[in-house]
A and B are shown apart, each in its own frame.
Chain A
C-alpha cells in the first residue's frame, strides 16, 4: 500500500471513531454529571461510583481525586467560582475550615438520624455528615525488629526508649493533616504540658518528619524504617500486600479524624447533589465504607477489614474538633519552633 493510501485509510478510521464518540455522548446527554471532589483511596473510586450510580441511574459521578492537602487547597482557591458539586470523602477539619468560609450548603440527608452523633456536624441543618474514621496508629516492621533485636512497643511511652533511636518516622504536622491530628491527639490524651514533654523525648528517636500521612507506614512496610506513625488504612493495605508489619494501637489512646460528605454552596446541580448526600449517609453506603474502614458512621454496621487493628474504636481520644481548629496555628508554631527548625544531622 502506498503511503498516501495508508494515510487516507487512517483519516477515514479517525473520522469514524470521532463520529462514534459524538453519538455515544449524545446518548448519555440526559444524565446529570456531578463533579465530586474527594481524597478517598484510589481503589475505592470505582466501587463507590458504581454503587451510587446503580441506585441513581440518572446521575453520573465525575471524580477529581488527590491527597487531602491538595484537594483542600484547590477547593479553597476555587471559592469564588466553585467547580465541585459535592465533596464526598474529605477530612472533617477541611470541611470545617470551608464551612467557616461560608462555602458549604447546609443539608440534612435522609439517613442522618440513624448515624452516630459524633459523625454529624451537629448543626441544623447539618453542614457535613461523617462516613468513616481513621486513626494515627503505629506501623511496626516485625522483620526488621527481629533482625535488629528490637522489642515491640505497646504504648506511646515505649517509643521514647533509647533503643529506638533514629528508627521512627512520623508526618510533619505542618505539612500533613494526619501529622496534626497525631500531635493534637497526644496533647488531648496527655494534656499540654506532658504532651510536649513526650514529644521532646520522642524527637530524640525520630529519624525524619515526612510530608505525608501515608508515607510513614509505607516506609515501615518497606523496611526503610523500623516503625512509622501514620494513617491506619495504609498500613492495613500494605500488610495485605505482604509487608511484615503489625498495626499497633498504643494503649494510651490515639488521635483520629473523619472523612465526611458535604454539598458545595453554589452548585448548579443541587437536586442531584442532595441525592448523593442522601445516599452517602445511607446504611448501604456505610456497608460499603465498612469494607475499607473498621469504624463507620452507621452504628449497625459491624465491619472488620483485613489486617485492621481490632481495638481502635475503644481507644479513640476524645477529640475536640473546634479546639483543634482554633489552636492549630499556635500548636504548629510551637511544634515548628521545637522540632522543625533544626536541619538533619550532617552525615559524616
Chain B
C-alpha cells in the first residue's frame, strides 16, 4: 500500500513533519510493547530448545533427535492434513455466510449474525463434549459417520465449528466496506452477475480471504483442546507439545516442537507481505457505500444457506445445553439444575466465573486500544519500513504459537527474579496481558483490514489542511472503523472467557478462571457440570454480544450516517 500511495501522491513526499516523527515514535513504542508481551516470553521458552534438561547449551542436538524420530513426520503430516481440510471447508463456508450478511437482504439478519458467532463464545471443550453426545459410542447418532467420532473426522467437525466465526469475522469486515459506484458501473456496462462477483467482489475481499485462510490454518494447527478430547490416536504437533511439556516436563523438546509450529507463521507473514502490496484502498474519499437491495431469488437462496449453517451450530450448542441438565449420562437422563451449583465441583465455585468476566473486560478494553492504535500507527506511518516490518512480524507470531508454549514462556520471562516486571506475575493483570498477546493477530488483522479500506487521501487532505494526524484519527479514521473496533473488543472479550491452554499456567490462588475450572471439572469426570459451566460462559458472551449489537445500531445510526445515501 505504501508504495502505491506514495507513487500516486508524490506531492506528499516532503521532509519529515512533526506528525511523522510522532508516529514513528509510536511505532517504536509499539514494537517495544510487542517485544515484551510476545517476543521475549516466546524466546525465553524457545531458547530452551538449544539446551539440555539441565540448561547446558547443546546446539541443535534436540532438533536432530526430534527430526530423527519417525513419529514426528506422522504428526506433522497429520497436522498439515487436518489443517488444510478444515481451511478448505471453513473459508468458502464463512465467505458465503459473510456475503449473505453483508451483500444480501436477509430476514432477521441480526439473528444469523449472532448465531454465526456462537462457536467463538464456547470453550473448545464444548464441541468436543457435544460431539461425544451426538456421535460417540453412546450417542444419538452413533454410527452415522460410518466410524468412530474419535480421530480425524471428529477433529475436522469440531474445528470447522470452532474456526467458523474467526473466518466470518474477518470476511464480514472485508465485505462490509464496498464502493457502490463500482457495482453501478459494472451494472451500467452490462456485466453479468457472475462476472461482477469475480471481478469486483472477490478482488475486493482478497485480503480478507487470504487472512481468513491463514488464520484458520494456523488455528487448527496449534489448537490442542479439540485434539485432546476427540482426537483419538490421531497424533498432531499440538499433542506432541503436550506430551513433551505436560507428560514429561521436557521443556527442551516442547520448545523444539513449538519452533516447528512457527514455520507456518513465517509463511503466513510472507504471504501477507506480498498480498498487502497489491491491496488497493476500497473506500476512497469519494466512495459511495454499498447498500444491498432486495432481490427475491438471491435472498431466498442465502436465507436457506444461512439457516442450514445456523442449524448445524445450534445443534451442537443445544446438545451441550441439554447435556448440562442431565443427571448421569447415559444411564440416568432425568433433568436437574444441580450441575450449575459449581461450588460442588470446583473449590473456587462461581468466583472463577467472576474472575473470568473481570479479566475479559480488562483484556477487551486495553487490548482493543493497543491493537487498533497499533494497527493504525503501522498502516499510516510513512516509510520506516524496517520497524513496521518488525511490528508486523511480532503481530503475526502469536497466532502460530500453541498456548502451552506461550504460557510457559510467560512463566520463564515474567517470573524471572531479575525482571523488573515480575510484580505482574500471579496477578489478574498478567492473565489479561497474556490473553491480549495470545489473540493479538486476529485483532490486528481485523483492524488492518478495516484501515486498508480507507483511502490514504483522508490523511493527505488533512495533512495539507495542517490538521494534526491524531485529529484525523479521532475525527475520521476511528469513527469510520468503529464497527471493526467494536468487533475486536468483542473478539477479545469472548476469547478471554474461553481461553485455557496458556492461562492454565498463570493463575494464582485467587485468580482462577472459569474456562480452566471447566477443564478441571471435566477431568474429574463431571461432564455435565463442565457442560454447564461452558453454557454459562456462552450465555455471558452472547449477552455481551447482544449489547454490542444494540450499541452498533445506535452508534452506526449516529456516527456512520455518512454510509447512507
A: residues with CB less than 8 A from B are 35, 41-42, 45-46, 62-67, 69-70, 72-74, 76-78, 80-81, 83, 94, 97, 143, 172-177, 207-209, 211-212, 214-215, 217-218, 221-225, 234, 237-238, 241-244, 328, 332, 336-337, 340-344, 346-348
Contacts and interface: CB of A to CB of B under 8 A. Distances in A.
A35 B524 CA distance: 23
Interface stretch (B98-106, B112-120, B501-509): B501-509
Most buried by B among A77, A94, A209, A237: A77
B422 A41 contact: no
B148 A347 contact: yes
10 contacts: A35-B509, A42-B521, A70-B505, A72-B249, A77-B411, A172-B243, A175-B239, A207-B148, A211-B228, A211-B247
B185 interface: no
A242 B327 CA distance: 10
Contact of B138 (A81, A215, A224): A224
B345 A42 contact: yes
B525 A214 contact: yes
A343 B234 contact: yes
Nearest to B228: A211
Given A46-B347, A69-B247, A217-B525, 17 more contacts: A66-B504, A77-B415, A78-B411, A172-B243, A174-B248, A175-B243, A209-B233, A222-B138, A222-B329, A222-B330, A237-B524, A242-B331, A340-B233, A341-B70, A344-B233, A347-B145, A347-B146
Q: How large is the interface on B (under 10, 10 to 19, 20 to 34, 35 or more residues)?
A: 35 or more
Nearest to B53: A101
A76 B239 contact: no
Most buried by A among B69, B228, B347: B347
B441 interface: no
B235 interface: yes
Interface string B325-336: 001111110000
A73 to B, nearest CB: 5
Given A63-B509, A81-B416, A215 B408 contact: no
B254 to A, nearest CB: 9
A158 to B, nearest CB: 21
A184 B325 CA distance: 40
A336 B331 contact: no
B527 interface: yes
Given A81-B417, A175-B246, A343 B78 contact: yes
B525 A218 contact: yes
Given A74-B411, A222-B330, A344 B525 contact: no
Given A77-B505, A238-B525, A344 B232 contact: yes
Contacts of B332: 242
Contacts of B137: 223-225
Interface stretch (B150-158, B169-177, B293-301, B354-362): B150-158
A87 to B, nearest CB: 14
Contacts of A176: 247
Contacts of A211: 228, 239, 242-243, 247
A238 B426 CA distance: 34
Contacts of B527: 218, 222
B251 interface: yes
Contacts of A78: 411, 415
Contact of A346 (B152, B239, B328, B520): B152
B269 interface: no
Contacts of A97: 249
Given A175-B246, A208-B233, A348-B147, A77 B504 contact: no
Contact of B233 (A45, A65, A223, A342): A342
Interface string B135-151: 01110000001111011
B71 interface: yes
B412 interface: yes
B524 A41 contact: yes
Nearest to B153: A347
A61 B132 CA distance: 38
A279 to B, nearest CB: 19
Contacts of A234: 524-525
B308 to A, nearest CB: 24
Contact of A74 (B233, B327, B505): B505
A77 B239 contact: no
B74 interface: yes
Given A72-B249, A80-B417, A243 B411 contact: no
Contact of B132 (A35, A65, A224): A224
Interface string B409-434: 00110011100001001100000000
A241 B101 CA distance: 47
B19 to A, nearest CB: 39
Contacts of B153: 347
B415 A241 contact: no
Contact of B422 (A45, A81, A336): A81
A300 to B, nearest CB: 29
A143 B508 contact: no
B383 interface: no
B524 A42 contact: yes
Contact of A208 (B150, B239, B251, B415): B150
A69 B233 contact: no
Given A80-B415, A223-B331, A347-B145, A340 B347 contact: no
A246 to B, nearest CB: 15
A174 B240 CA distance: 9
Most buried by A among B239, B329, B416, B509: B509
A222 B332 CA distance: 10
A163 to B, nearest CB: 17
Contact of A243 (B232, B245, B331): B331
Most buried by A among B245, B249, B327, B504: B249
Contact of B248 (A209, A218, A238, A332): A332
A64 B509 contact: yes
B346 interface: yes
B510 interface: yes
A218 B527 CA distance: 9
A119 to B, nearest CB: 23
Contacts of A222: 138, 329-330, 527
A97 B235 CA distance: 27
Closest 5 pairs (CB-CB, A-B):
A347-B147, A62-B509, A69-B246, A175-B247, A344-B151
Nearest to B344: A43
A208 B232 contact: yes
B426 A70 contact: no
Contact of A76 (B70, B249, B509, B523): B249
B352 to A, nearest CB: 11
A54 B2 CA distance: 69
A43 to B, nearest CB: 8
A45 B347 contact: yes
A116 to B, nearest CB: 28
A271 B328 CA distance: 46
A234 B138 CA distance: 20
Given A80-B417, A81-B415, A224 B136 contact: yes
